[in-house]
Amino acid sequence: MGRGIHDVAKKIDSAGRPEGRTPDTFVPVLRTVRAGNGFEEALEQILQLLRLGLVPSGERLPAERELAERMGISRVTLREVLKVLQDQGLVESRRGRYGGTFVLPRADGGGEDELRRRVASVDVEDILRFREVLEVGAAGLCAAHGLGEAGAERLRAALAATHDAELTDYRRQDTLLHLTLAELSGSPTLTAQYAAVRATVNDLLDCIPLLVRNLEHSQHQHTALVEAVLDGDADGAREVMREHCGGTAALLRGFLT
C-alpha cells in the first residue's frame, strides 16, 4: 500500500506544505477557449482550478504568460479574469521578485449546516449519478484501450502521491488521481465534464471531515483500480470504480440524513 496511507493518522497534525506542482497538473482543467467567449470560459476554468483545490491556499497560480498561452487568450483578458477573482476575495496579487497571483484561504467548510446550504442549490443525486457514469466510463476506457508506458507511469505517480499525501493535502491528490484517469481515457469532452462535476462534489466534501477509516478504504480501492487498469481488466476497473463512487455517495448521504 505504500508508506503514506498507513501513517495517515500520525499526519493529522502535520503542517507540511504540499510539494511543488508541474504545469501538467492543470492539463485536465485548462483548455483552449472558444472564440467569442474568451473571458467567460477562462473565468470558468480558473474557478474550477480553485474549486478543485489544485492550487492550495497560499500557493501561486501559474505565471500569466503560461495561463494565457494554455487557454489561448490575451494577457489583457486574463488580467480581467484575475481582477474578478481578486474582487471576490479568492486570490490576491503580490508584487516583487517573488510576486504573482496567490490563492487566498477559503472560508471554513462550515460543517453540516453549510453542507445543507450548498446541497440546496444542486441536485445531489443527479451529480452523484453523473459522476459515477463518467468515472466508471473513464476507468473502463483506460483499461480496455491500454495506456502505454507514459500513461501508465502518470497513473502510478498519481496513485503514489495519494499514498504519501499529508492529511491536509489528501483531497487535492485524490482529485488529481481521478482527473488523471479521466484525461487518460482519451476523451477531452469526458475530461472537461468530469472536472466540472468533481468541482461540485468537492464543494460538498469540503463541508464534512476527513475520516481516516474512510481514507484507508479509499486507498485500497485506488490501488485495486489502478492495478485493474494496468492489467487491462476493463470489467474489474469499472466494478472497483463503481464501488468507489458508491462509497463517496454513501458518505455524503450519511451527513445529510
Asked if residue 251 lies in contact with residue 157, where contact means CB atoms within 8 angstroms, the answer is no
Residue type, 117: R
Question: Which pLDDT score, from 0 to 100, does residue 25 have?
Answer: 59
Asked if residue 252 lies in contact with residue 205, where contact means CB atoms within 8 angstroms, the answer is yes
The CB density around residue 48, as the number of other CB atoms within 10 Å, is 21
Q: What is the pLDDT of residues 104-157, one digit of tens each?
A: 886 655 555 666 677 676 788 899 999 999 999 999 999 999 999 999 999 999
Q: Which of 211, 195, 208 is nearest to 255 (CA)?
A: 208
Angle ∠(247,248,254) on CA atoms, nearest 5: 90
Q: Which of 25, 21, 19 is nearest to 70 (CA)?
A: 25
Q: What is the pLDDT of residues 203-241, one digit of tens each?
A: 888 877 777 777 888 898 999 999 999 999 999 999 999
More confident residue, 18 or 143: 143
Question: Which pLDDT score, from 0 to 100, does residue 129 have?
Answer: 94
Distance from C-alpha of 14 to C-alpha of 9, rounded to nearest angstrom = 10
Asked if residue 57 lies in contact with residue 106, where contact means CB atoms within 8 angstroms, the answer is yes
Q: What is the pLDDT of residues 171-206, one digit of tens each?
A: 999 999 999 999 999 999 999 999 999 998 988 888
Mean pLDDT of the chain: 82
Distance from C-alpha of 255 to C-alpha of 5, rounded to nearest angstrom = 24
Question: Which pLDDT score, from 0 to 100, does residue 13 have?
Answer: 32
More confident residue, 150 or 55: 150
More confident residue, 5 or 59: 59
Share of the chain above pLDDT 90, in %: 36
